[in-house]
Chain A
């Protein structure tokens, strides 16, 4: 089974520029996550999608970050404009969790599969 694909692997941009990251989750996985991992810290959730709907974006800096998953499959995360403190690894993850499981009240938390991440450096 193919894993979670992310591109690009590395990106260097100047502050105030824009950047976009792409993620293709494992086929059939309903839930997709974007995490930000600053060097030496644990991953911090930015946004969680269930199919093409947003479940949680409470920690997404919406003045500069945006994400979409229009067809409920792959997703893009954009930063516009970038700041120096946005330098981090951006991790995409997916899990199988089904909408049926959610609606039925039986929240089944299955493991998340992570991509290799995109390392962003803002200079």
Chain B
């Protein structure tokens, strides 16, 4: 079964608004990563947050990690139409390196 579970499954917002996606996982992790996938394309790495970190920023992206709740959130501020894509969280376990992906959140940013 998949480790990560994104929420919501689909999100539709207007350009300029903020988008928040959540990820919950079940077992202990070494790190959690967020990826973006445009339709018909491969995945693009966005940001990695380690288990001993609580918050990380990269441009318009802000990621938080709460290991006590086994959850993470991805915030995209001032969204653009080009942000329309599916977003996946992937967890890497403490004892291995394989990344386990959730089912993803489909984000639509309307112009």
Assess whether B88 is interfacial by the CB under 8 Å rule.
yes
Interface residue stretch chosen among A14-22, A64-72, A107-115: A107-115
Task: Tell me the A1-56 residues at the B interface (CB within 8 Å).
Answer: 4, 31, 33, 35, 40-45, 48, 50, 55-56
- The number of chain B residues with a CB under 8 A from chain A is 27
Task: Tell me the B65-111 residues at the A interface (CB within 8 Å).
Answer: 88, 90, 92, 94-104
Task: Tell me the A93-119 residues at the B interface (CB within 8 Å).
Answer: 93, 95, 97, 102, 107, 109-117, 119
B2/A48 in contact, CB under 8 A: no
B33/A111 in contact, CB under 8 A: yes
Q: Which residues of B contact A119 (CB under 8 A)?
A: 40
Take A41-B103, A109-B30 as given contacts and tell me if A91 and B42 are in contact as well, using a CB distance cutoff of 8 Å.
Answer: yes
Expressed in whole angstroms, the Cα–Cα distance for A91 and B43 within the complex equals: 9
Contact with A along B33-51 (1 / 0, CB 8 A): 1010000111111001000
A-B contact count (CB 8 A): 68
Expressed in whole angstroms, the Cα–Cα distance for A43 and B41 within the complex equals: 13
B44/A107 in contact, CB under 8 A: no
Q: Which residues of B contact A97 (CB under 8 A)?
A: 97
Expressed in whole angstroms, the Cα–Cα distance for A41 and B9 within the complex equals: 10
Q: Which residues of A contact B96 (CB under 8 A)?
A: 55-56, 107
A116/B30 in contact, CB under 8 A: no
A42/B97 in contact, CB under 8 A: no
A48/B102 in contact, CB under 8 A: no
A109/B101 in contact, CB under 8 A: no
Q: Which residues of A contact B2 (CB under 8 A)?
A: 42, 44
Residue in A closest to B44 when the chains form the complex, CB atoms: A114
Take A42-B103, A111-B48 as given contacts and tell me if A48 and B98 are in contact as well, using a CB distance cutoff of 8 Å.
Answer: yes
6 cross-chain pairs, A with B, having the tightest CB-CB distances, nearest first = A42-B101, A114-B42, A111-B45, A109-B92, A114-B43, A116-B42
Q: List 17 A-B contacts (CB under 8 A).
A: A31-B97, A40-B103, A42-B2, A42-B4, A43-B43, A44-B2, A56-B96, A93-B43, A95-B97, A102-B97, A109-B31, A109-B92, A112-B33, A114-B42, A115-B42, A116-B42, A117-B41
